[in-house]
Amino acid sequence: MLEIKSTSAKREQFEQRLTGFWEGDGNCRAYVNNQGYYVPSVSIVQKDADVLKYIRDQLGFGKVYQINDVHQLDVRKQEQFAYMLELLCKYLVSEQSADKVNKTFEKFNLSVRAEQHKPSMPWIVGFSDAEGCITWNGYGALQMQIAQNGSDVLEDIKYSCYVQKCSELITKIHVLALDGGYIWSKWAKELLAQEGGE
C-alpha cells in the first residue's frame, strides 16, 4: 500500500484544500463489474479540466477525462484508491462524507475509519470553490456565499472563520456568506508560481 508520509506545510495545505474540494464536488463508491467483483472509484467532477489536471499532477496518479460538458478525475487502482481515501480521512468535515467513506472501506475490508474534523481554513478554501459563489453585497464588497441542504457544515465553517479571524458578513438558513474571494484556481496559480520560483 502507498504510504502517506509526514508532509510539509505546503503539502498539508494542499491535502486539506483537496479534501474540502472533494467534499463539495467529489464522490467515492464501489461498483460491481461484469465479473461480479467490486471496483473502487474516488472521483471529482468539474467543468474546469485544468483544476483536475493540477490535482492529478500533485497526487501523481488518477485519470482525467471528459463526460459530455464536464470533466472527471477518477482514481480506480486499488492501491491509489486506498491512499486517496486515507488522505481524505485526515481532514473530512461532514458526517455524510465520513459515512460514505466508511461504507466504501467496509466493501474492501479496509480497517481505516473516517472521523469528522473541524474545518481548517485551507479546507474552507477548497469547499468554497466547489460549493460557493462570489457575489457583490449591497455595500459594494465581494462576498462568498456557500449554500447547503443542511446547516451543520455551514455552522462549522462559521465557527472556524470566527476563530480564524475571517469575518462573517451575513448568515441565513443554510446559506453562509463570507467576505473575500477564496477560489481554488487563484490558489492553484499562486502555488504553481511559488513552486516555479523556488
pLDDT in tens, 10-38: 889 899 999 999 999 999 888 888 888 88
- Does position 140 have pLDDT exceeding 50, yes or no? yes
Q: Domain map of the chain by residue range?
A: 9-107, 121-185
With bands split at pLDDT 50, 70 and 90, how would you rate the model's confidence at 45?
A: very high
> Which strands form 142-147's sheet, in the order they lie side by side?
132-136, 142-147, 175-179, 168-172
pLDDT, average across residues 42-48: 91
Which of 41-55, 110-124, 160-174 has the highest average model confidence (pLDDT)?
A: 41-55
pLDDT confidence of residue 27: 92
- Does position 191 have pLDDT exceeding 50, yes or no? no
- Does position 50 have pLDDT exceeding 80, yes or no? yes
- Cα 176 off chain centre by: 18
With bands split at pLDDT 50, 70 and 90, how would you rate the model's confidence at 168?
A: very low
pLDDT, average across residues 67-91: 91
With bands split at pLDDT 50, 70 and 90, how would you rate the model's confidence at 164?
A: very low
- Grid cell at residue 20: 474540502
- Does position 70 have pLDDT exceeding 80, yes or no? yes
User: Is CATH 3.30.1130.10 the classification given to domain 9-107?
Assistant: no
